[in-house]
Amino acid sequence: MPMPTLMEIRDAVRSGRVGAREWIDRAIGSIQRLDPQLRALISYDGDRAMDLAEQIDEQVARGEPVGPLAGVPVLIKDNICTRFGRTTCASRILENFEAPYDAHVVQRLESAGAIILGKTNLDEFAMGSSTENSVWFPTRNPWSLEHVPGGSSGGSASAVAAGVVAGALGSDTGGSIRQPASFCGITGLKPTYGRVSRYGLVAYGSSLDQIGPLTRDVADAALLLQVIAGRDPRDSTSVDEPVPDYVAGLDRPVDGLRIGLAREYFGAGLDPEVRAAVEAAIAEFQAAGAEIVPVSLPHVKYAVACYYLVAVAEASSNLARYDGVHYGRRAERPQDYIDVYCSSRQEGFGAEVRRRIMLGTYALSSGYYDAYYLKALKVRTLIKRDFEEAFRLVDVVAGPTSPSPAWRLGEKLEDPLAMYLMDIYTVSANLAGIPGISVPCGFTQTGLPIGLQLMGPHFGEPRLLAAAGLYQRRTDWHTRVPPLASAAAA
Ligand code: GLN
């Protein structure tokens, strides 16, 4: 049975065929059936969701207009602040944190009629690529419970792939929407830096972070982006750039599409099955009439090194606010006031977060600043220029989202560097501030999904979505459902 999309659910609610309460009921049913295995959710509030659903159903019954996501259950990553429930960032230090306000994207979703059913699991403070760095529990991949769902938005990706909801929000600092989307066989979009307000997103790397959708297909990604995009005076980095009609744009023909291929995205370390699937996807574009153009991105070989300096430097500064005084957990029996800070942070942060705070503090410290942080900023500019040059020649740059499919739980936990290297293809888009999307483009022999990444120029989402949409009209990878979910639906 194919799983309904956001648009199908919304249409069913609007027409009164299947009401919002029914959709919430179904979503809660699948949480109860599937989540004990997947562990995609940190928390959910079925009663609150039911109350909101009832209001939508009444509005429909009275013939009142309802929003573009009326009655649609969605989930959001647990680093996005909500007035209801807790916002834990999967960290001990925020385990009881109740945000006093709603994030901008939460307000946007709710005023569009969406019903936020709960909050999804992540790597602590979004630091990781596997959702194993959560203080709560690791999340599992619905295609194989032995494998990670990717990260850090692994809970959102796992829940959408399993059909618990049709859409969810994640955040992407270095790949955390696109990589879990590719591992779980769904669509994930990181918008242009500044396209979506980060007000109410718990900061990790402020010059890199963006919120974006995880959905079954490109049309739904366009719809969610439509709802959350646009200027918000509460986030000074959100840009006052008109929000085009992303959804209507998908129906326009994609004439004269030029796809850039960079040798640097097909180098050593790329899994042969991933390479084959991505090459087949590019052949599909060629068959659809797109022109394939070689481009050169000579500096992306430094992207991982550059990213792991910029991101950890910003993280060390952003995480200074968790001091046991202003926010979150405080050590139980501190010896003195210095110990309040030290013990609260020692107890409150997990190993990976502590590692990054130390690396970032080191990179920013006097004497090392020029050698590390400043140099990384310069390399960042070179990477940005590489993409500017490429986008003079092409509309999108195509390649793999991740060099490998999902790995087994625990496989990379002892080797942080091996885990960092897995981000090789995703971090550049964040460093350059450009949009990127991952769409499913095949499976390994063992049945694990593979993702194709497309990247576009700043605010190039319309053409990026159109290219990804063209691919999905010609292929059916995005309609595949993991066996666990189809068994549950039967
Ligand atoms: N895996 C990358 C990191 O650990 C990216 C995470 C993210 O995008 N939030 O920093």
* 423 CA to centre of ligand 1 in angstroms: 8
Nearest atom (ligand 1) to Cα of 127? 4
The pLDDT of residue 422 is: 96
CATH number for position 84:
3.90.1300.10
> How many domains does the chain contain in total?
1
Instruction: Answer whether 149 contacts ligand 1 (Cβ < 6 A).
Output: no
In what helix (H) or strand (E) does residue 205 lie, and over which residues does it extend? Answer: none
* 311 CA to centre of ligand 1 in angstroms: 8
pLDDT digits (tens, 9 = 90+) for 417-431: 999 999 999 999 999
* Residue 296 bears catalytic tag: no
Give, for ligand 1, the residue of 152, 177, 202 to mutate: max count of ligand atoms closer than 8 Å to Cβ.
Answer: 152
> What 3-state class would DSSP assign to 262?
strand
The pLDDT of residue 209 is: 98
* 14 CA to centre of ligand 1 in angstroms: 38
Domain extent at residue 48: 6-263+388-489
In degrees to the nearest 10, what's the CA dihedral of 310, 316, 317, 320? Answer: 170
Nearest atom (ligand 1) to Cα of 126? 9
User: Does 411 reside within a domain?
Assistant: yes
Instruction: Answer whether 141 contacts ligand 1 (Cβ < 6 A).
Output: no
> What 3-state class would DSSP assign to 400?
strand
Candidates 30, 129, 152, 438; catalytic one: 152
Dist CA 299 CA 386 (whole Å): 7
pLDDT at 269 over 60: yes
Dist CA 7 CA 219 (whole Å): 8
Dist CA 143 CA 59 (whole Å): 38
Instruction: Answer whether 57 contacts ligand 1 (Cβ < 6 A).
Output: no
Amino acid at 98: E
pLDDT at 490 over 60: no
* Residue 144 bears catalytic tag: no
User: Does 299 reside within a domain?
Assistant: no
- Cα dist from 454 to 178, 243, 285, whole Å: 10, 20, 12
Instruction: Answer whether 174 contacts ligand 1 (Cβ < 6 A).
Output: yes
Q: Classify residue 487 as exposed, middle or buried by CB count within 10 Å of its CB (0-12, 13-18, 19+).
A: exposed
User: Nearest 5 degrees, angle CA 343-CA 344-CA 346?
Assistant: 60
- Cα dist from 146 to 141, 164, 186, 406, 415, whole Å: 7, 19, 19, 10, 19
User: Does 78 reside within a domain?
Assistant: yes
Mean pLDDT of 343-360: 96
pLDDT digits (tens, 9 = 90+) for 231-255: 999 999 999 999 999 999 998 878 8
Dist CA 159 CA 149 (whole Å): 10
Nearest atom (ligand 1) to Cα of 177? 8
pLDDT at 488 over 80: no
The alpha-helical segments, DSSP class H, found in 132-187 are: 154-161, 178-184
* Residue 152 bears catalytic tag: yes
* 8 CA to centre of ligand 1 in angstroms: 32
Give, for ligand 1, the residue of 78, 131, 173, 430 to mutate: max count of ligand atoms closer than 8 Å to Cβ.
Answer: 173
Please tell me whether the overall predicted TM-score, pTM, comes out greater than 0.85 for this model.
yes
User: Does 357 reside within a domain?
Assistant: no
Q: Which of 171, 213, 425, 452 is nearest to 307 (CA)?
A: 425
User: Does 92 reside within a domain?
Assistant: yes
User: Does 112 reside within a domain?
Assistant: yes
* 172 CA to centre of ligand 1 in angstroms: 7
User: Does 481 reside within a domain?
Assistant: yes
- Cα dist from 109 to 208, 216, 262, 427, 458, whole Å: 23, 18, 37, 27, 24
- Cα dist from 126 to 173, 198, 275, 476, whole Å: 8, 14, 28, 31
pLDDT at 480 over 60: yes
User: Does 462 reside within a domain?
Assistant: yes
The pLDDT of residue 255 is: 85
Dist CA 81 CA 87 (whole Å): 6
